[in-house]
Amino acid sequence: MIEQTIFYILAAVALAGTLLAITEKHPVHAIMYLVTSLFSMAVIFYLLMAPLVAVFEVILYAGAIMVLFLFVIMMLDLGHPEKGISPHWKEWLPALLLSGISITSLAAIIVSRHATVSVCPAAQPIREVARRLFQEHGMAVELVSLQLLFALVGALYLGKAPSPPTTLPEKEVVKSPGEGVTL
């Protein structure tokens, strides 16, 4: 009963956070709202007996991915709503229309189905999750790690500072090795 109440509160927070995030003009504020939403999602995951996903949601999503967004916004100085182009109200119309249709249809489909039996399975221990991950989906792990490697190489290549013009005196163009962005 308590858990149910907590779930509804969290769902409300997640929805509110997400809505505010996409309507906010200011990117940094939007990211803060989204992080709030992600936190409540993490707790929902925890309630759904997936502590590992919950913790990774915080470590990876809130702790790494969103921080990366923040980093890029801060570094490129994009946090000026007056300079950035925020959508005109007319641009919201097709978005609202299409999302509305989709949401209504989806809700109709879900509700029209008979309610599935709500069993209460035991929580899966982390050991079991890990065993599944590395023994049965080992190939997928390898593929994901390869993809991460490619992303790393790609990001390194894209982020590399363009070679400085040769007219500068030599002392000024010495860049720290292996670092794309000089801070």
Partner 1 sequence: MTAFSLDITLFAIKLALVFFVILTLAAYLVFAERRILAWVQDRKGPNRVGPFGLLQPLADLIKLLTKEDVIPGAADRWLFYLAPAMAAIPAILIFSVIPFGAPLTIFGRNLPLVVADLNVGLLFFLSLSSIAVYGVAIGGWASNSKYALLGGIRGLAQLISYELSMGLSLVPIVMLSRSFNMADIVAAQATIPFIVYQPLAFIIFMLSITAECKRIPFDLPEAEGELVAGFHTEYSGMRFGLFFVGEYINIIVLGGLAATFFLGGWHGPLLPPTVWFSFKTLAVAFFFIWMRGTLPRLRYDQLMHLGWKVLTPLALVNILITGWWLALK
Partner 2 sequence: MIVPLEQILILAGLLFFIGMGGLLAWRANLIMMLVCIEIMLNAVMLVFVAGSAQWGDPDGQLFAIFIMALTSAEVSLALAMVVYLHRRRKTVNTDLFSEMRG
Partner 3 sequence: MKLYLALILLLPLSGGLFNALLGRLLPRRLGEVVACGVIWGAFACSVLAFISFNAPEQVEYASWLSDFDFKAPIALYLDQLSLSLTMMITFVCGLIHLYSVGYMKDDASPSRYFALLNIFVFAMLTLILAANLPLLYLGWEGVGFCSYALIGFWYTEEKNATAGRKAFIVTRIGDTALGIAMVWMFQLFSTTSITELNGMGFLMPTGVITALGILLLIGAAGKSAQLPLSVWLPDAMAGPTPVSAQIHAATMVTAGVYLLIRMFPLIGSSPTTLAAIAIIGAATAFYAATCACVQRDFKRILAYSTISQIGYMMLGVGAGALTASTFHLLTHAFFKALLFLGAGCVITALHHQQDIFSMGGLKKQLPAVYWPFLAGVLCLAGFPGSGGFFSKDDILGAVFDQGGTLYGTLFAVGLLTALLTAFYTFRMLFVVFHGEASTPLNHQTLTPDTRSAGRVEPIMTITLIPLALLGLFGGFLNLPKYLVSHGLLSTFVASIPGFSALEHASDATGISLQIIAATTSLLGLGLAWSRYTGRRRAESLQLEDAGLHFTRFFLNGWYLDHLYNLLFIHPFTWLSRFLWKKIDESTIDGTLNGLARITMRLGEIPAGWSNGRVATSLIALAGGTAALLGYAVWSLM
Out of 19, 68, 101, 140, the only residue in the binding site for partner 1 (CB under 8 A) is 68
Out of 6, 13, 20, 32, the only residue in the binding site for partner 1 (CB under 8 A) is 32
Out of 98, 130, 133, 153, the only residue in the binding site for partner 3 (CB under 8 A) is 98
Out of 86, 142, 175, 179, the only residue in the binding site for partner 2 (CB under 8 A) is 86
Q: Give the interface segment with partner 1, choosing from 24-32, 106-114, 138-146, 164-172 (CB under 8 A).
A: 24-32
* Chain position carrying tokens 């890990």: 130
Region 139-178 residues binding partner 3, contact defined as CB under 8 A: 139
Q: Which residue number, 22 or 173, has a Cβ lying nearer to partner 2?
A: 22
Instruction: State how far the Cα of 131 lies from the Cα of 52, in Å rounded to an integer.
Output: 13
Residue-wise DSSP of 55-112: HHIIIIIIIIIHHHHHHHHHHHT---TTTS-PPPHHHHHHHHHHHHHHHHHHHHHHHH
* Residue-wise burial string across 71-84, b where 16 or more C-beta atoms lie within 10 A, e elsewhere: eebeeeeeeeeeee
Do 85 and 25 form a contact (C-beta atoms < 8 A)?
A: no
Q: Which does 18 bind (CB under 5 to 8 A by kind): partner 3, partner 1, partner 2, none?
A: partner 2
Q: Which does 69 bind (CB under 5 to 8 A by kind): partner 2, partner 3, partner 1, none?
A: partner 2
Instruction: State how far the Cα of 85 lies from the Cα of 99, in Å rounded to an integer.
Output: 22
Residue 74 in contact with partner 1, rule: CB under 8 A: yes
Q: Which does 62 bind (CB under 5 to 8 A by kind): partner 3, partner 2, partner 1, none?
A: partner 1
- Least Cβ distance, residue 59 to partner 2 (angstroms): 9
SS (H, E, C) 112-132: HCCCCCCCCCCCCCHHHHHHH
Out of 13, 16, 63, 78, the only residue in the binding site for partner 1 (CB under 8 A) is 63
Instruction: State how far the Cα of 45 lies from the Cα of 47, in Å rounded to an integer.
Output: 5
Residues contributing to the site for partner 3 (CB under 8 A)? 94-95, 98-99, 101-102, 104-106, 108-109, 112, 139
